[in-house]
Chains A and B, each alone.
Chain A
Amino acid sequence: MSTAIWGEHEPLTTVEKYPLPLLKKLLQEMIRQFGATGGCIALYDENVGLMNIRMHLRLRNTGPTLVGNSTDGDTASFRRRVTIDLSNSSSSTSGRMKHISQSLDSDSIVSVEKSAFFPIGATYSPGQDLIGYAWRKNEPLIIRHEDYLVSLQSTEQKLFPQDITPAWYLCAPIQIPELAFDALNRRRTTAVIGVVLLYQTNYAIAFQQKHRFEAQQFSERIALYILNDQLRHLHLRTMDYMQGLQQISTAFPTAVKLSNLVEDVFQFVTNVVDVSSMLLTFYDRDTRKIYDVFAIDSGKRNDLLLEQPVVDTPDSRPVWWRVTQEEKRTLLLTLDSQEPENYSKYEELLKGTWGDQSRAETFLLLPMKMFTRVVGSLCLTSSHTDAYSPEEILILETMVQIITVSIENAKLYDRSRQSLLKAKQREESLAAMYSALQVISTVLHVTELLQKFVETVANLVQAEMCTFFQLSTDEQELVAQAIYDTTGQWRDVNQNTNKDEKHNDLIEMIRLPFKGSILEHLVEDETFFYLDSTMVEELAQASAEGGVIFLRETHIQKMLMIPVRYQMEIVGILAIHTPHSNRTFRPEELGALLAISGQAASAIRNAQLFEQIQEAYAELQHMDKLKDEFIVTASHELRTPLSAISGYSSLLKRQSGRITPQQIMRFATKIGSATQQLSDLVSNMTEAAKMGALDKKLELQLGPVQLLTAAEIAATMLSINIEQKITLHIAGDIWLQCDAMRLRQVMTNLLDNAAKYSPPDGRIIVTGSATTLSKLPEDQVDYAQIAEGFDLPVALVRVCDEGEGISSDDQQKIFEKFVRAPRSLTTPIRGSGLGLYICRRYIEAMGGRLWLEQSIPGEGSVFSFYLPCIDPPIEKSMDDESE
């Protein structure tokens, strides 16, 4: 197909419409057959509505020089007229032509290019001249030259200067036979498509009446030839269209690329019809939007349109909407001045993206239709009147329909592909979730589990940071337990989290306030929520250092928070975000996250329980071992006082006859002391058992106790059994509010310990002083007691010995139940191992603290405790009595 020329349309040439070589051959044959000197063929020109002379042939030697010489000898040779019977079958034609060519040199009949007599290109209206006359009469005629001249004069037509003077004329209209109409099954605007004119210069050889009939037959033959040729052309064109349509329909197998589509449409349209402007519009049903995607205004392409289509709504294009979506019809308009109403009625369609089409002559709108659905329209204009024939419109309609089907197919394909893709994604996400849940529910180590949890969640939704905060036991704050971070900022922390206590401590420094903060309310009401930068800042202001660093330095723009609940009870919060990102999660992502969080909650609970059980079990085993050791040492401890009681009582019995009262007194005292020792041991054991796992509250009998007295009693009791000298430096006016029995037990224990680990000549010094809480070593102060701005008066008691000291490893352990300094295992030292544990519990129960102040190997240890101090009560009681 040729490249179309935009703008001014080049009309189809005669060469295309009427094959001149064929006409020439036919005319040559006719001239010979009828023995004429020359002749011409005029054909109907649709553009002007006139007969137009297309061909004029003459015998070669009848040049202008022969004009007027009617007795030209050469013409005699043509008198041997070949009579042709046109009723013969066409197969005989070739034979006839062969015969002609044998008898006549075809070159002897040539085209008359320059002639004033029926020149090529001359036009005739109906009735004008011979041609017009034959056309109007629609029948062959024979006329003498003289009569012709008369007719010309009678119609006052101008007489052309003639280069040849014929004697006779034979004129016949060229018309398509009735039979052919039937075969074509269509009507033409005029039956006469042309006129053939023959002339004879020799008066002697007149055309005869039978020639009229023959001429009519011959002209019909010419008509059929022309028609046949037209049909052949039409066929060729249709072939071209079909090929184009096929190309169009195969251009969009699965996906429609808009730029390709419009290019193909453009190419096709210009190959089929004359186009000066074009507009391609699509309609999107989902968004109810109209898109102009391709426009050409008088040959100028709007290339920007493909990238940025003009978007409109149906409401702003009512005419377009009515024609395409409601009437769904092809609209062909003639816009010339004779039908101005077309323009005014459809003005909307003729303006807009493709410029002003008011100067166009023809307008065509083709709805892009599939079944009843219209997906868009193709609008064309031409500067020619009646530029689009019904056949062409039919072809364009077909093309548009093919495009529509392609587009719809592509859409369907795309949709099914997308839903397939979605299904696949969903499947993948489910699989990922399943494996994540598998991982989470099979891990029993809490730290490991939480790390897997955050890692899995982050990977599932492609987030860069994911943190799990656990609600502290007092529900005051949220403590970070695991961080997954791909940004690298917290990676060092993250990588070594597993079982690494120090790194865990680092993570746990990230704490967010919970009670009373925005989090508490949001967690209560929402299954998930987002923290924006304002809320993050609000939280940061209420957070401690670790939390502030996390909130401010991980660049949170929008953080998804998912409360992790186990049976309505908050376990913690999962926080997901990507630094600098303002991401909102899709519903399916949230669904997956919520599901996994729910599963994680129970997994976390399980792991926590498992860990607690493990800890309890380890604790139990530890206790069991300690108990075994305790029983060994305790039974040994019991043996000593028992031995004393047994020995002295048997001695009293055996020597009863010779024993002195002083000796009885001394032995009885020994027995009494041993009994007391036994009794203390037993009560220690009972107390320790009471303060076991259940941690029962101690039953205290609080009252005013003079520190000095309590110390003296303890020192005196112990001095019987120990060799070391106990020195007391305690002021008499220090009174404590405590349980006197427990205080004595604590003092005895501390002194006994001091003696046990000291050499026999070692000194044991007890000091007691009144002070206030704030003056005590920082790490031993219970700040809750001074939070009210009241500095509690306390008594500080220190027990110093010169013993072997306690190794730093053992300094914490010695306060545990059943634990004694480990040397005692190889070198047994008396003691149940309950002492310090019980002492600490007693002192704490009475509102104080007990600790190892210092211990230097080889030099000795200092155990200290404080208890709340009160004013001496005696004066008060005296005051009471005086009142």
Chain B
Amino acid sequence: MNQNNQTRKILVVDDDPVIRDMMADILEFEGYTISVARNGSEALQLLRSGENYLVFLDIMMPVMSGRELCALIEADPHLRKRHRIILMSAVDNLEEAATLEVDAILQKPFVVDDVIDILEPYMG
């Protein structure tokens, strides 16, 4: 097991409180404690701190969108190396999501099993 995996924390980035709350509820049952951010800008602050994150990232957000955040991470090899990014995207945005350098894509709407399945490889 990768040491990084064991120390990895979960960050949910979404402007919609409903989604943020739901992700928290789902992951609490699985035993994870999560951090939340309302936009890319807030997320970036956390990503630049010492922790390694598995990031659930929404695309359409005010202030800084998921697309903009992806571009910033891509431009910074250090950040890219430390964090894993799972993009939350609707079907109609899948084509756009595929162009972004992310680790996985979680298609909205999803069920709990989808979240668990996609998260496992990164959390061990």
Residues of A within 8 A of B61 (CB): 827-828
- In the complex, the answer to whether A654 meets B109 with C-beta atoms within 8 Å is no
Whether the pair B62, A647 counts as a contact (CB closer than 8 A) is no
Stretch at the interface among B3-11, B22-30, B46-54, B70-78: B22-30
Please state if B17 and A643 are interface contacts (CB–CB under 8 Å).
no
Is B90 touching A647 in the complex (CB atoms < 8 A)? no
| Nearest CB on B from A280, distance (A) | 107
- Does residue B80 face the partner (Cβ distance < 8 Å to A)? no
Q: Which of A475-519 contact B (CB under 8 A)?
A: none
Q: Does A670 contact B (CB under 8 A)?
A: yes
Known contacts A635-B90, A636-B60; A647/B109 CB under 8 A: yes
Contacts of B60 in A (CB 8 A): 636, 828
Q: Are A636 and B110 in contact, with the CB atoms below 8 A?
A: no
- Chain B, 106-124, contact with A by CB distance < 8 Å: what is the 0/1 string? 0011111101000000000
Interface residue count for A (Cβ, 8 Å)?
A: 33
Q: Counting CB contacts under 8 A, is B19 at the interface?
A: yes
Q: How far is the CB of B40 from chain A (nearest CB, A)?
A: 11
Q: A646-B109, A650-B113, A670-B22 are in contact. Are A655 and B38 (CB under 8 A)?
A: no
In the bound complex, CA of A636 to CA of B90 (Å): 7
Contacts of B29 in A (CB 8 A): 651, 654-655, 658
Cβ distance A634 to chain B, nearest Cβ, rounded Å:
11
Nearest B residue (CB) for A650:
B111
Shortest distance in angstroms between A648's beta carbon and chain B's nearest beta carbon? 6
Q: Closest chain B residue to A648 by CB distance?
A: B22
Shortest distance between the CB of A295 and any CB in chain B (Å): 109
Chain A 110-155 interface residues, beta-carbon cutoff 8 Å to B: none
Number of interface residues of B (CB under 8 A): 27
Give the CA-CA distance A642 to B62 in the complex, in Å. 21
Interface string of B40-71 (1 = CB under 8 A from A): 00000000000000000000111101000000
Residues of B within 8 A of A646 (CB): 109-111
Residue from the set A635, A641, A648 with the largest chain B CB neighbour count within 10 Å:
A648
Residues of A near B93 (CB, < 8 A) are: 636
Given A643-B110, A651-B26; A829-B62 close (CB under 8 Å) = yes
In contact, A647 and B16 (Cβ under 8 angstroms) = no
Could you say which of A643, A658, A830 contacts B109, with CB atoms under 8 Å apart?
Answer: A643
Asked if A642 meets B108 with Cβ closer than 8 Å, knowing A635-B92, A827-B62, A829-B62, the reply is yes
Residue among A640, A644, A655 with the highest chain B CB neighbour number at 10 A: A640
Contacting residues, chain A, for B90 (C-beta < 8 A): 635-636, 639
Chain A, 827-845, CB within 8 A of any chain B CB: 827-830
Closest B residue to A829 by beta carbon equals B62
- Tell me whether B21 is interfacial, beta carbon within 8 Å: yes
Q: Contact at B19–A760, with CB atoms within 8 Å?
A: no
Interface of A: prevailing SS: helix
Does A723 sit within 8 A of B, measured CB to CB?
yes
- Is the pair A654, B113 in contact by a Cβ cutoff of 8 Å? yes
Contact B109 A642 (CB under 8 A): yes
Q: Flag whether A721 is at the interface (Cβ < 8 A).
A: yes
Tell me how far the C-beta of B61 lies from the nearest C-beta in chain A, rounded to whole angstroms. Answer: 8
Report if A856 contacts B (CB, 8 A): no
A645 near B: Cβ within 8 Å?
Answer: yes
For residue A830, which residues in chain B have a CB less than 8 angstroms away from its CB?
A: 15-16
Task: Judge whether A667 and B25 touch: CB under 8 Å.
Answer: yes
Q: Which residues of A contact B22 (CB under 8 A)?
A: 643-644, 647-648, 651, 670
Q: Which among A635, A642, A828 is the interface contact of B65 at CB below 8 angstroms?
A: A828
- Assess the A648–B16 pair: CB atoms within 8 A: no
| Contact of B1 with A by CB under 8 A | no
Is A412 part of the binding interface, using a Cβ–Cβ cutoff of 8 Å? Answer: no
Indicate whether A446 reaches chain B with its CB closer than 8 angstroms: no
Contacts A636-B90, A827-B62 given; does A650 touch B19 at CB 8 Å: no
Return the chain A residue nearest B22 by Cβ: A647
A311 to B28, CA, bound (A): 125
- Whether A647 pairs with B65 at a CB distance below 8 angstroms is no
- Give every chain B residue within 8 A of A667 (Cβ-Cβ): 25
CA distance A602 to B85 in the complex (A): 68
CB distance from B28 to the nearest CB of A (A): 10
Interface centre among A653, A721, A723, A827 (most CB of B within 10 A): A827
| Interchain CB contact under 8 A, A640 and B18 | yes
B residues near A22, Cβ cutoff 8 Å: none
The answer to whether B62 touches A640, judged by C-beta atoms less than 8 angstroms apart, is no
Q: Which 3 A-B pairs have the closest CB atoms?
A: A650-B111, A828-B60, A646-B109
Given pairs A647-B23, A651-B25, A827-B65, 8 additional interface contacts (CB within 8 A): A639-B109, A643-B19, A651-B112, A653-B112, A655-B112, A828-B65, A829-B62, A830-B15
A: which residues have CB within 8 A of B? 632, 635-636, 639-651, 653-655, 658, 663, 667, 670, 673-674, 721-723, 760, 827-830
